[in-house]
Amino acid sequence: MKLDDIKKLHQKKYRNQFGHFLVEGEHLVLELQKAAQLSPALLHSQLLVTDKYQHWQSPFETRVISDKQMAQIADTQTPPGIVAVAPVPDIPGALVDGERAIYLHEIQDPGNLGTILRTLAWFGGFRCLLSPGSVDPYNPKVVRSSMGAIFHVPLELDVSLAHLAERFARIACLDMDGVAVRNDAFAGHRCYVFGNEARGVPREQLQNFDLHMFNIPGSGAIESLNLATAVNICVYELMR
């Protein structure tokens, strides 16, 4: 890709158009290189480095650029000196045996999504479906907070509730009145739906589903858990 196009990858519109996203800094580039050993499509990543990193070992096509060029590409205030341009992975096919889907409806916070991806990668066996209007997972902030997990978790973007209903008749979601998640029934689902940070699960839009409600029992002192915490506890419970 041309440098002028790479600079545009800060914008979702161009990430979609070019099908690539930015991976900044030593740690994330190392994670990308590790992930490329398992997912050969990632070998088509391109590496941009400043002088300081000219001897960096990488299987990717590598180009040395100036500090000034790096500053224009990097998202962070202190440009890292090493940035990869990675291809957005192909959308995975149907769920395989034993695989489960975590559907996030209009998730907004990049840190929450990054943390959730990290948990899904940690446990394995999950894919992440995002509704229209969710934060873009290839946003540099999500990539950074995922700490490389984004290279490991199958992702589907812009999955509408109508589309979800075609694929999953039954879904599980969290609700104050639900059964405790430690209940055996919780694990008997293939799709788990979580709502937006502020508005929660869009219950009125879930009438086409056979909906099963579960609950993480608490003391009642506060109204809600953080969204990522709720997802992470559910995923842990499923893999326990």
Q: Which residues pair with 128 in a beta bridge?
A: 102, 155
Rounded (5°) CA angle 124-23-68: 170
When asked if residue 99 is in the footprint of its own copies (CB under 8 A), the reply is no
> Distance (Å, rounded) from C-alpha 82 to C-alpha 70?
8
If residue 138 lies in a helix (H) or strand (E), which one and from where to where? none
Q: C-beta of 115: minimal distance to its own copies in Å?
A: 5
Q: C-beta of 47: minimal distance to its own copies in Å?
A: 21
Q: Which of residues 9-38 bind its own copies (CB under 8 A)?
A: 31
Q: Which of 79, 81, 148, 154 binds its own copies (CB under 8 A)?
A: 148
Q: Which of 149, 164, 172, 193 binds its own copies (CB under 8 A)?
A: 149
**Cβ-contact 212, 171 below 8 angstroms:** yes
Contacts of 38 (CB under 8 A, 6+ apart): none
Q: C-beta of 223: minimal distance to its own copies in Å?
A: 8
Candidates 61, 98, 105; CA nearest to 202 is 105
Choose one: 64-72, 90-98, 142-150, 206-214; the region binding its own copies (CB under 8 A).
142-150
Q: Which of residues 37-96 bind its own copies (CB under 8 A)?
A: none
Choose one: 41-49, 62-70, 154-162, 219-227; the region binding its own copies (CB under 8 A).
219-227
What is the DSSP code (8-state) at residue 89?
P
- Neighbouring CB atoms inside 10 A of 99's CB total 14
Comparing CB distances to its own copies, the nearer of 79 and 114 is 114
Q: Which residues pair with 49 in a beta bridge?
A: 64, 82
> Distance (Å, rounded) from C-alpha 54 to C-alpha 39?
25
Q: Which residues pair with 215 in a beta bridge?
A: 180
When asked if residue 211 is in the footprint of its own copies (CB under 8 A), the reply is no
Q: Which of residues 176-205 bind its own copies (CB under 8 A)?
A: 182
Comparing CB distances to its own copies, the nearer of 57 and 219 is 219
- The contact set with its own copies (CB under 8 A) reads 31, 111, 115, 118-119, 121-125, 145, 147-149, 152, 182, 216-219, 221-226, 228-229, 232-233, 236-237, 239-240
